[in-house]
Chains A and B, each alone.
Chain A
Amino acid sequence: MENDGRRKFLGVCLAGATAAAAVAVAYPVVRYLGPKSRQAGAEKLVLSASDVPEGEAKFIEYAGASAVLVKTKTGELIALSAVCTHLGCIVQWVKDQQHFLCPCHGGLFATDGTVLAGPPPRPLAKIPLTLTEGKITIG
């Protein structure tokens, strides 16, 4: 009985030590392979207002993803995520119709990101922007 107890105790110690070693190895490897962490909203991007003419769109990289800055014909500036909410393709700006088209499955979005047609379940995410002295600050 005494031997059984000792054997069980050593077994538990060995299992514990093995588990601790596995965690000590796995943790650095997971951190090493993990994506670079970004704090949402912490990143700012400054552009010149003259970079986007009226009725045009400018695609940019923002917070590690694709975004688009559009200036409507009425002069309103809007920043949106360029990632389609259906399956993650990047939307394209159709200048003639003044809307966004997702080339993957034909999703249509208005300049403010709302869904006009097609399979996308949600509007394109809006990104806050400010315009001061001819400088557009995104984020």
Chain B
Amino acid sequence: MALLKRLYRWVDLRIGASEIVAKELTGYLLPRNINEWYSLGSILLVIFALQVVTGMLLMVYYVPDADKAFKSVTFIMNEVPYGWLIRLCHAVGSNMMVAVLILHMLSTLFMGSYKSPRELNWLTGFILLTLVQGISLTGYLAPWSQLSFWATTVATNSASAIPVIGPYLVEFLRGGKLVGPPTLGRFFALHVSVLPVVIAALIGAHLFILKRTGISTPPFGSSETAKPWRAESYSYQSHPGGIPFFPNYALQDLTSICIYFAIFLAVVFFAPNLPFTPDAFVPADPFKTPAHIKPEWYFLANYQTLKIFPSELLGLSVQAIAMTFLALLPFIDRSPERHPMKRPLFLICTVAGILLWIGLTVWGHFS
């Protein structure tokens, strides 16, 4: 311990580490009534880091070639020591990332944290959700199994409903008329180089905006004396008399991360086939479409919406309107009230929206 203290002092003398600690950790005050839902962002950072690390490890043995991809994934799963663990962590982690991201957005929604002056935080978060879905979709093709091949065929085909440019867009996405080796090349490039960099940059922007705006006060529990924000000049929302981030809230972050890992590892060790269907264990065959091919669970509602509308264009338009409405919510809902029980219209619409999404997902699963 004495050695660590001496090392810290040595670094402190050179770069003023204690000043940074005092400002950003022990002196970074949070609202006294902050709750555990605020730690979902930290869990997401951990998941993203884990996805990057496991993704790098998978690239050691994975071969992005249509003739070799399935074999290389089988090799990772069956031959490489602990390859199954690395791959399962990556596959389960991608599903968990979408799930925790949805929870993070729902908590922001219910606590009204998207409202002024935090519109940019909501918007960057919303773009992050779509990018995470994009990185999951592009990674889905990588194993080159029947499931990945046909799920990608169905997903890319949806774009054909867009008037005029639709058919060209599908061909552009696939790199050809049908899903094939060129699709794997471009999806792999997007999955490992373009999307992770864009996501990392947006996470940086999201955190930067959070630091500049100041953390929101939850609408529940004891109220504090933070000044309401007015659109006159820039002001940081501080929380005088609040609790320090370190050690108080860092401990809550750590607790939430441990709970997350308990759930995540329970799936990895006790339900490893949860992210896979039997088609995931058969190599891709472009001449044989398996029966009842379904997209990932988080695309099931979109898939079912396309099925229930008489025209694909109508189905896509409804989804586009819903997504645009959600993205622009802070600009539409401008009332300062944030307590959900004092916003009955908001509460009814949100609960109805969530139930509709769950209903469509379940319907899509069994249809």
Interface residues, chain A, CB within 8 Å of chain B?
Answer: 28-29, 31-34
Q: Which 10 pairs across A and B sit closest by C-beta, in order of nearness?
A: A28-B82, A31-B81, A32-B82, A31-B82, A28-B85, A32-B86, A32-B81, A32-B80, A32-B83, A32-B57
Query: Once bound together, how far apart are the Cα atoms of A32 and B82, in whole Å?
Result: 6
Query: Once bound together, how far apart are the Cα atoms of A132 and B24, in whole Å?
Result: 77
Query: Once bound together, how far apart are the Cα atoms of A29 and B82, in whole Å?
Result: 8
Residue on A nearest B1 in the bound complex, by CB: A11
- The interface size of chain B toward A, counting residues with CB under 8 Å, comes to 8
Distance of B86 from chain A, by nearest CB (Å): 6
B60 at the interface (CB under 8 A from A): yes
List B contacts of A31 (CB < 8 A): 81-82
Residue on A nearest B83 in the bound complex, by CB: A32
Most chain A CB inside 10 Å of its own CB: which residue of B57, B80, B81, B86: B81
Residue on B nearest A21 in the bound complex, by CB: B261
Query: Once bound together, how far apart are the Cα atoms of A29 and B80, in whole Å?
Result: 11
List A contacts of B60 (CB < 8 A): 32-33
List A contacts of B80 (CB < 8 A): 32
List A contacts of B82 (CB < 8 A): 28-29, 31-32
Query: Once bound together, how far apart are the Cα atoms of A31 and B82, in whole Å?
Result: 7
List B contacts of A29 (CB < 8 A): 57, 82, 86
Query: Once bound together, how far apart are the Cα atoms of A33 and B81, in whole Å?
Result: 8
List A contacts of B86 (CB < 8 A): 28-29, 32
Query: Once bound together, how far apart are the Cα atoms of A75 and B338, in whole Å?
Result: 93
Identify which of residues 79-121 in chain B touch chain A, using a CB-to-CB cut-off of 8 Å: 80-83, 85-86
Most chain B CB inside 10 Å of its own CB: which residue of A28, A29, A32: A32
Residue on A nearest B53 in the bound complex, by CB: A29
Distance of A18 from chain B, by nearest CB (Å): 11
Would you give 19 A-B contacts (Cβ < 8 Å), ordered by A? A28-B81, A28-B82, A28-B85, A28-B86, A29-B57, A29-B82, A29-B86, A31-B81, A31-B82, A32-B57, A32-B60, A32-B80, A32-B81, A32-B82, A32-B83, A32-B85, A32-B86, A33-B57, A33-B60
